[in-house]
Structure 1
């Protein structure tokens, strides 16, 4: 269950019917769910959908013609894996605000009035929106997820409670998100940019595109984005603990950060995150999603939840 990180968006190989003009859920046989099922001889019901938010777990999907993901659970379900929350807080929107490159829509102008991407961590409007959404995901005051349709953010604790009610015999594993960037400046490049008339930026930058020098992220912005990813993971972990304790059911959180260590943009090792490139005039939907190697790393992370 869950969003694009669970569906296998970015692997480039999708099941029929999930890569059409009407349905873009992009479910892949290379996603971690199918890999875990095949390795361990499990029967799989695969309902994750690219673009899904917490709303789409418990309500019919408003963007794709699919029922609520929870509707596919039953008393016979023994294991549920779920990755969700990134679309609720606006990961794509944040990336759009922080990337420098042609064809990338920006969330809003940065603190210095420019809109070329660098310095997004100083964008107070962006940070305030992200913080509000994170609080809603954790059970705070209500907020809406970004997107073409209005979807209220459903506190993950409540989502997990509904999953347990629909599948009372199932062990639930919530899987988090990896950091997208490395922490060592030695893996970044240093250059002075003049990305806008009258503006210049000097510092360390990370190439994130399939063509060097076309799309990049400033070092400080990369660290800020990773810190927000860790904030989301912390919210997911706490929600799992709170829900399991309140409902007296088995739920665990699986953190992919250690297994992805170094395998990110400018991480120093082979990159398990897809670079950005344009699909026509817009960024490819698989950009900044795990590669097949990344999905395999997820599957290995989840092995203890199946065999333990």
Structure 2
């Protein structure tokens, strides 16, 4: 993986396929810093006055949206792809400090802090020059892939769906502690940043069963419910963090992107899916990582949510000035 150092900016990773990072615009950061105290910045201006850093797990890395040979044969276990929503966000706006892509497949809240697959900490990629952070995280903390497997694999010794409830509750309790800690660390390192955290899309239809994935309609509804529970935990964490920033008149914000219904009518198993269904590695008798991850169209739908949120803002006045 090529690392391109930028003076006075966080480390930036450039993808081998040439779409990974974008250089800062010369002189804009210094100009913005020199003119604090004027008119309030618009939400988009506040987000783009510095650098954009994309963090998170496989939903942010773009697993399941492979479109090139490099996507299908990644150089890193983090499996960042060319159709991840990061690329649309980075192309839609002009970030004064450039942009970088650090999301990593399989990342938990601990991995965001410490690094994964030999890569350094994602958290350390944000700093005082960062004006926008996008992130999805939490699904791996509660073991969503294991939950899914427990529903799909119906063997005599399998727990099935609902019998996993106790283990899920324990993991949710752990996330209720680790996620606020991570958000606080991000906002401390990047005090001017708008931190936009995404919830997870509903994977299945609520009205028709996807028989090809060995799931009943009740299974699908139960799994959707667990995604809804996770999203609510993330939403509460975001709300509490942003209320704290507003109370102390901080410059930054923490915002939630509600993606739960983003794939409505396009769930796994539909005629035009935005979510991949079950893909089996027959040699290993295991589900492939792309299973139940967004397709290219799914990543496009998520990108639109982020672009809209960047333009819309946190729903309160930002304490940033031009």
Fold conserved between structures, TM > 0.5: yes
- Matching residue of 2:65: 11
How many positions carry a matched residue from both structures?
248
Task: Indicate if the aligned counterparts of 2:112 and 2:122 stay in contact, CA closer than 8 A.
Answer: yes
- Matching residue of 2:39: none
> What does 1:156-235 correspond to in 2, within 5 Å?
156-184=179-207, 187-188=208-209, 206-208=210-212, 215-235=213-233
- Matching residue of 1:56: 111
Classify the secondary structure of the residue corresponding to 1:45: strand
Classify the secondary structure of the residue corresponding to 1:27: coil
- Matching residue of 1:133: 171
Structure 1 segments of 4+ aligned residues over 3 angstroms from their partners? 13-18
Separation of aligned partners in 2, 1:13 and 1:166: 34
Classify the secondary structure of the residue corresponding to 2:137: coil
Q: Is it true that 1:260 corresponds to 2:300 in the alignment?
A: no
Q: Is it true that 1:26 corresponds to 2:79 in the alignment?
A: yes
How far does residue 265 in structure 1 lie from its aligned partner after superposition?
A: 2.6
Tell me, which stretches of 5 or more residues in structure 1 are unaligned? 101-105, 140-154, 189-205, 209-214
In the alignment, which of 225, 240, 243 is matched to residue 242 of structure 1?
240
Q: Deviations over 1:163-182 (max 9, x none)?
A: 01111111010001011111
Separation of aligned partners in 2, 1:289 and 1:3: 11
- Matching residue of 2:118: 65
Tell me, which stretches of 5 or more residues in structure 2 are unaligned? 1-54, 247-251, 313-322
Q: Deviations over 1:139-161 (max 9, x none)?
A: 2xxxxxxxxxxxxxxx2111111
Q: Is it true that 1:88 corresponds to 2:88 in the alignment?
A: no
In the alignment, which of 77, 82, 91 is matched to residue 38 of structure 1?
91
Task: Indicate if the aligned counterparts of 1:254 and 1:302 stay in contact, CA closer than 8 A.
Answer: yes
Separation of aligned partners in 1, 2:91 and 2:108: 26
Distance 1:133 1:67, change over 3 A: same
Separation of aligned partners in 2, 1:207 and 1:166: 47
TM-score (norm 1): 0.75
Task: Indicate if the aligned counterparts of 1:207 and 1:265 stay in contact, CA closer than 8 A.
Answer: no
TM-score (norm 2): 0.72
